[in-house]
Amino acid sequence: MKEKPVKGERRVFMTGNEVCAWAALAADADIMFGYPITPQTDIMQYWTRLAPKYGKKFLQTEDEISAGFTTLGAVIAGKRAFSATTGPGNVLFQEPMSMAEMMRIPVVLIIPMRGGPSTATVIYSQQEVTMTAFGGNGEGFRVVYSTAGHQDLYDYTIKAFNTAWKYRFPTFVLSDGYQGKMRESLTIYDPAERGIEMVKAEPMLGLPGIPGVDRPTRHLRNTYNTEEELYEVVMQIARDFEKAAPEIVEWQDFDTDSEMDVLILAHGVVSRAAQGALPLLKNEGIKAGHFRPITLRPMPEEQMRAAAARANRVVVVESAYGQFLKLVKETLYGMDKPIDAILRPGVGITAEEIVAEIKERR
């Protein structure tokens, strides 16, 4: 048996990119494909150093389009393959991801977001939410985990492989440039020891036997001649997605059990600021709660609505210009809670800023 990269439990202090590389190793990923882009590149750099020790592979491709399609190729061949990108690279990745969506090719893509639009910054942002959840010419049949710290990055990178392979939707682990480049502590572990079993990666092509003789030939395609054929295919994916959604959704809530003056909605790293804001608001005599969707797609709809129902008003906080806000409005449609928004495209948000804004707008 091959040696396990992570044994037992271990408290460590590392960068988020390093965490992702370890998580992929722990999840027994077989091969990574990628094209360098800050702040993601370190994932590749850690992987290239670590992977060979465990018989795992790497290929640096000529661009993100190729990184996406080579990843799909490896998955089709039966391997647990993944990639990582961000910003303009994520834009290019939408082409292969739309093929994955159509052909039900499981794939994991790690995205530490950077500022946009265009090349913008290499630092931090939450501006790739819409694109990651709904990019390409498809219907957003994707799973998006938005992580808030290094422990999340480890946990959800591992989980992403199982979600992708179990439900066969492209699965994304969103974080941001801070998380990618920052160091903080977390516990890494062998998933098996925590009872997490990795879903097997079965080949879609290249099975044993002579095709057409010993077994039916596998012919995969994504092109259809008639609208009606396509309609059936898309509706089938939609049904599968909606069936899986309740099993996939994840969220956290903080102080949302009782009536609130204000419910703060935030995801990813901004959720940490929101969590930090709660005691400060309490000090100011404001009864605040915080709801954090961990999956942005599918959205924990019921849960968010339930939390919002207990609040007088809602404040959406994000490091983007309303990408999460749109999702919130859609999710809470039909409710009449006033929504305020703190929109800070491309810049970090702190607990103090949230408190100040909430006080001001009260």
Partner 1 sequence: MAKETIALTPAMPKCWNPDSKPHKFCPGCGHGLTLKMLGQAIDELGIQDKVIFGCDIGCSLLSWDFFNVDSVQTHHGRTTPVITGIKRARPELIGIAYMGDGGGYAIGAQHLVNAATRNEKITAILINNTNYGMTGGQMAPTTLPGQITETTPFGRDPEDSGYPTMGPEMVAAIAREGAYVARGSMANLRQLKRFLKKALENQMEGNGFSFVEVLSSCPTNWRTNAEATWRFVEKDMAEHFPVGEFKVPGKKEEK
Partner 2 sequence: MAVRIVLAGEGGQGVQVIANILAEAAYAEGKEAVYIPNFGVEQRGGVSIAFVQIDDKRIDSPKFPKADIVVALSNRAVDRTRQYVDERTTFVYDDSLVAAAEIHEDVIGIQAVEADPRSQRQTEAVDDSKQRKTVRLPESAGTIIPLSANDIAKKELHPRVFNVMILGAVLKATGVVSVEQVKAALEARLGGKFAKNPELRDLNYRALERGMGLVEHVGVN
Ligand X SMILES: Cc1ncc(C[n+]2csc(CCOP(=O)(O)OP(=O)(O)O)c2C)c(N)n1
Which parts of this chain interact with partner 2 (CB under 8 A)?
13, 38-39, 121-124, 149, 177-179, 181-185, 223, 225-226, 228, 269-270, 272-273, 275-276, 347-353
CB atoms within 10 A of CB 218: 12
Pair 238, 141: CB distance under 8 Å:
yes
Whole-number minimum distance, CB 126 to partner 2, in Å? 12
**35: its two tokens:** 């094209």
Pair 160, 29: CB distance under 8 Å:
no
Could you give the residue ranges of the DSSP H alpha helices within 150-196? 150-167, 177-181
According to the binding rule CB under 6 A, does residue 36 interact with ligand X?
Answer: yes
- Sequence-distant (6+) residues with CB within 8 A of 123 are 39, 114, 115, 177, 178, 346
The alpha carbon of residue 204 and the mean position of all alpha carbons in its chain are separated, in whole angstroms, by 24
Q: Among a copy of itself, ligand X, partner 2, none, what binds residue 305 when CB lies within 5 to 8 Å by partner kind?
A: none
Torsion of the alpha carbons at 49, 52, 78 and 133, rounded to the nearest 10: -10
- In the β-sheet with 31-34, what is the strand arrangement from edge to edge? 57-60, 31-34, 81-84, 107-113, 170-176, 143-146, 295-297
Whole-number minimum distance, CB 111 to a copy of itself, in Å? 10
According to the binding rule CB under 8 A, does residue 101 interact with a copy of itself?
Answer: yes
**Minimum CB distance to partner 2 smaller for 89 or for 135:** 89
Pair 142, 174: CB distance under 8 Å:
no
**Minimum CB distance to a copy of itself smaller for 278 or for 299:** 299
Whole-number minimum distance, CB 83 to ligand X, in Å? 12
Whole-number minimum distance, CB 328 to a copy of itself, in Å? 9
**Minimum CB distance to partner 2 smaller for 37 or for 107:** 37
According to the binding rule CB under 8 A, does residue 183 interact with partner 1?
Answer: no
Whole-number minimum distance, CB 84 to partner 1, in Å? 12
**26: its two tokens:** 């722990």
- Please identify which residue in 27, 43, 76, 92 interacts with ligand X, judged by CB under 6 A: 92
Binding positions for partner 1, rule: CB under 8 A: 30-31, 33, 35-38, 41, 44-45, 48-49, 52, 57-66, 68-79, 81, 88, 95-96, 99, 118-119, 203-214, 217-223
Binding positions for ligand X, rule: CB under 6 A: 35-37, 64, 88-89, 92, 119
